[in-house]
Amino acid sequence: MTKEQVTGAAEEEQQAQSKKALKKQQKEAEKAAKKAEKQAKLAAEQQTADEDDFAKDRYGVSAMVQSQEKVDRTLVRVQELTPHRGGQLVWVRARIHTSRAKGKQCFLVLRQQQFNVQALVAVGDRASKQMVKFAANITKESIVDVEAVVQTVEQKIESCSQQDVELHIERIFVISQAEPRLPLQLEDAVRPETEGEEEGRATVNQDTKLDNRVIDLRTTTSQAIFRLQSGVCQLFRDTLINKGFVEIQTPKIISAASEGGANVFTVSYFKTSAYLAQSPQLYKQMCICADFDKVFCVGPVFRAEDSNTHRHLTEFVGLDIEMAFNYHYHEVIDSITDTMVQIFKGLRDHFQTEIQTVGKQYPSEPFKFLEPTLRLEYREAVAMLRAAGVEMGDEEDLSTPNEKLLGRLVKEKYDTDFYVLDKYPLAVRPFYTMPDPNNPKYSNSYDMFMRGEEILSGAQRVHDAQLLTERALHHGIDLEKIKAYIDSFRYGAPPHAGGGIGLERVTMLYLGLHNVRQTSMFPRDPKRLTP
Amino acid sequence: MALKELSSLEKCLGLKKPNKYSTQGERKVPVLQNNNGPALVGLVTIASHLVHEAKRTELLGNSAEQRAVVQQWLEYRITRLDNCSKEEVKVILKELNQYLEDKVYLAGNSFTLADTLMYYGIHHIIMNLAVQEKEKFLNVTRWFDHIQHYPGVRHHLAPVVVLRNRVYPSGQH
């Protein structure tokens, strides 16, 4: 390049630089102008904030409740906010479910467990502009104490559980503030799948819900599910106590695998190792041999099954029953089915609110059952399946799809979601199952089904030490490992039978849900160990 | 397979003398060597010929429109249904289900060769459907059950069980 060209280039560079510098200056000027504007705005707001706030002592963030004083105040439950309290001034403690500010008003939805109610802060003689602004800025999920007048409304508020009233807030204080960014939105967590798809709104997937279980459990659906589950447990206990059963507690750290070596968790036990109980089977039976006659136990069951299905957990709550009978194991089946029917009736009669709440997010057909409970023999079931085009052997176990199809066929024919299948083939049952006296290919064992899925496996147990030894040998089991078990039958043992159900599975199937993790508070499966 | 179909068809049409067929090519396309004239190649061609031979031309359609529809379904059988892939099966079942919503037979209001050959062709698919799927494609199942019970049609094929009542509520599909 020539000198002129070089200088020319240099000049251009200079010009370009000065252009750049100009642009930079302009940008900075704009920034400064914006900043000044913002500051002026803030100052103006600050002014209005300091302006006459006549409601200053009717709102704010309360000091942390460290039990400073005993306040003599009754807090009314949201569930009780009905028209009969119209006009009353009440105190309520609830969470902020949603808040929406509109000019001089702020609409809040306050939530308490399964119930929510609309609340309103409006600029007036009780509330100032600053108070409305404060209410609008309270973060979702914060716990607040409000004093409000219960106002009846003419048009039902469809989106709340308390549809006939609204709270007109006079005082509002924050008791515990929630951080602004929630890991999941409760409205999304409660939205039905179909609504999410149709209207393109967000729903929360199961893994996210389980990772943030504390927040997910606050939803109205979760509250309802676990209240109902508590009801199942309570009805189970009450019904059996009334039948003269005794509740027992069995050890969960045991020396030998009770159901089979494959699916058992091993724990280190001082200098040796032990196992986590796969079922209370052995101990239930030993209690019968110890003359407790009728026993039940509620406790954890541990199955190290690497099954990632909708109905398997590695830890679940087992509700187990064992009963000595007089002459025929059907006495026990009748007792168990009657217990189940009492549970179903109790849920139907006393937990309708919960059933309806769950049904809003997970609609399903109401659970149907017959009295007395339907009992089919295995052979009949095989015939029904064959009539529907399924090919299977007489002594073949039912696969899961066949179980489900059978459930549908039984529902169609008998109109029941709950039934018993009796006299299973001996070959597919555990070694301690009593064989059928009339046909060596079958056994005195039974399964019970809800909505086509198995919930209970039970049988008459072998109570004779010699026969038990034979059956164990036949199944290739090491007699040394079960010596204590066999010994318990050597000193007089009554004929007995029983069975066990899974609490989570029963709740899931009663409500017509599709994944057992929804009915387990902090579920455990091969891929999940926390929370 | 095609040969079995043709011999069943012969029985169905009441033809006394069974013909001798051979096959050609990888796909075993059936061939009928006639004494007078060139060989007939192809399932549909031979089947139509048999219908004429048995003097049952109504099976190919009574009106011009019905005849056209019969030909359409015979085409469908050879081009779409035979040797279709797994994904196509669902598409075919859906199409058929929609088509059969307001029809008893595939073409017009009478039983035709289209029904027979489509029945032969779709049998292996329907046989392997689960009860829930059979209910999902309710119209196909209804038509299939009707044809498999039609006198004289089902010879070499196993009967497929069709339940009288719905076992799955209609919302569950």
Catalytic residue status for A198: no
The predicted-structure confidence for A220-241, as pLDDT tens digits, reads as follows 899 999 999 999 999 999 999 9
Chain A residues whose CB is inside 8 A of the B130 CB are: 401, 405
Chain A residues whose CB is inside 8 A of the B166 CB are: 412
| Cβ–Cβ under 8 Å, residues A405 and A384 | no
B167 with A387: Cβ contact below 8 A: no
Record the pTM: 0.81
Closest CA to A323 of A454, A459, A417, A426: A459
Identify whether B30 is part of a domain: yes
* Structural domain that includes position B28: 2-167
Which residue among A58, A311, A463, A471 is the active-site one?
A311
Q: Bridge-partner residues for A75, per DSSP?
A: A91
Identify whether B73 is part of a domain: yes
The predicted-structure confidence for A89-104, as pLDDT tens digits, reads as follows 999 999 999 999 988 8
Catalytic residue status for A80: no
Pairing verdict, β B29-32 and B21-24? antiparallel
Closest CA to A333 of A161, A163, A471, A459: A459
How would residue A259 be classed by pLDDT, with cut points 50, 70 and 90? low
Highest mean pLDDT among A374-378, B29-33, B60-64, B164-168: A374-378
pLDDT of residue A12: 63
Chain B residues whose CB is inside 8 A of the A411 CB are: 167
pLDDT of residue A260: 58
Where are the strands (E) in A153-277, listed by range? 165-176, 246-247, 253-254, 266-269, 272-276
**Which residue's structure tokens are 């909505």?**
A451
Q: What are φ and ψ of residue A161, in 5° steps?
A: -75, -35
Token pair listed for B127:
């046989």
Please tell me the distance in Å from A368's CA to the nearest CA on chain B. 15
Task: Say yes or no to pLDDT of B171 above 80.
Answer: no
| ipTM metric | 0.75
Question: Helix count (H) and strand count (E) of chain B?
Answer: 7, 3
Rounded Cα–Cα distance for residues B41 and B22 (Å): 10
Identify whether B18 is part of a domain: yes
Identify whether B161 is part of a domain: yes
pLDDT of residue A98: 92
Structural domain count of chain B: 1
Which residue among A93, A312, A348, A524 is the active-site one?
A312
Q: Is A10 on the interface with B (CB under 8 A)?
A: no
pLDDT of residue A375: 96
Q: Bridge-partner residues for A374, per DSSP?
A: A419
CA A359 to chain centre: 14
- CATH number at B153 reads 1.20.1050.10
Chain B residues whose CB is inside 8 A of the A412 CB are: 165-167
**What does the longest C-alpha to C-alpha distance in chain A come to?**
120
How would residue B14 be classed by pLDDT, with cut points 50, 70 and 90? confident
How would residue A425 be classed by pLDDT, with cut points 50, 70 and 90? very high
**Which residue's structure tokens are 């109610």?**
A117
Catalytic residue status for A350: no
Cα nearest neighbour of B165 on chain A: A412
pLDDT of residue A489: 94
Identify whether B173 is part of a domain: no
Identify whether B172 is part of a domain: no
CA B119 to chain centre: 3
The predicted-structure confidence for A39-60, as pLDDT tens digits, reads as follows 887 777 666 555 667 888 889 8
Identify whether B127 is part of a domain: yes
Please tell me the distance in Å from A407's CA to the nearest CA on chain B. 9
Question: Side chain identity at A173, as an amino acid letter?
Answer: F
Identify whether B50 is part of a domain: yes
Token pair listed for B66:
């019905």
A368 vs A24, which has greater pLDDT? A368
Q: Across chain B, what does the average pLDDT equal? A: 88
Cα nearest neighbour of A363 on chain B: B171
Q: Is A383 on the interface with B (CB under 8 A)?
A: no
Which burial class, exposed, middle or buried, applies to A56 when counting CB atoms under 10 A from its CB (0-12, 13-18, 19+)? exposed
Q: Is A405 on the interface with B (CB under 8 A)?
A: yes
The predicted-structure confidence for A171-204, as pLDDT tens digits, reads as follows 999 999 999 999 888 888 888 888 877 877 888 8
Describe the strand order of the beta sheet including B21-24 as a list of residue ranges: B21-24, B29-32, B40-41
| Cβ–Cβ under 8 Å, residues A458 and A484 | no
